[in-house]
Amino acid sequence: MTVDHEAPEPVYQQVASILRERVASGGLAPRRPIPSESTLMQEYGIARETARKAVWLPADEGLVFTVQGRGTYVTG
């Protein structure tokens, strides 16, 4: 899964969808960390702000939760 910077859908929404799928498919398992912001930046070639926004959406949905200094985890 990659990102299309030319697509009408914002990049952070595209990445958010990818994260949702990675959780749904079990690629990212409950109680396990999702990729860090730095990793997301590298994996998808995006800025940190974009990576953070991409995580906010699944977080608002209760799919993941964030702990400062540790990371973001899939809700168990």
Partner DNA sequence: TTTCATTTGTCCGTATGTATT
Partner DNA sequence: AAATACATACGGACAAATGAA
**Structure-block tokens of residue 36:** 């860090």
- What is d(CA 52, CA 66) in angstroms, rounded to the nearest whole number? 11
- What is d(CA 29, CA 50) in angstroms, rounded to the nearest whole number? 23
Is residue 1 within the footprint of DNA (CB under 7 A)? Answer: no
**Structure-block tokens of residue 55:** 């995580």
Q: What is the dihedral of CA 74, 59, 61, 34, to 10 degrees?
A: -30
Cβ of residue 21: shortest distance to DNA, in angstroms? Answer: 17
**Site map 10..49 versus DNA, x via CB under 7 A:** xxxxx---------------------xxxx-----xxxxx
Give the count of residues interacting with DNA (CB under 7 A). Answer: 27
Is residue 72 within the footprint of DNA (CB under 7 A)? Answer: yes
Q: Which residues bind DNA (CB under 7 A)?
A: 3, 5, 10-14, 36-39, 45-50, 52-53, 55, 66-72
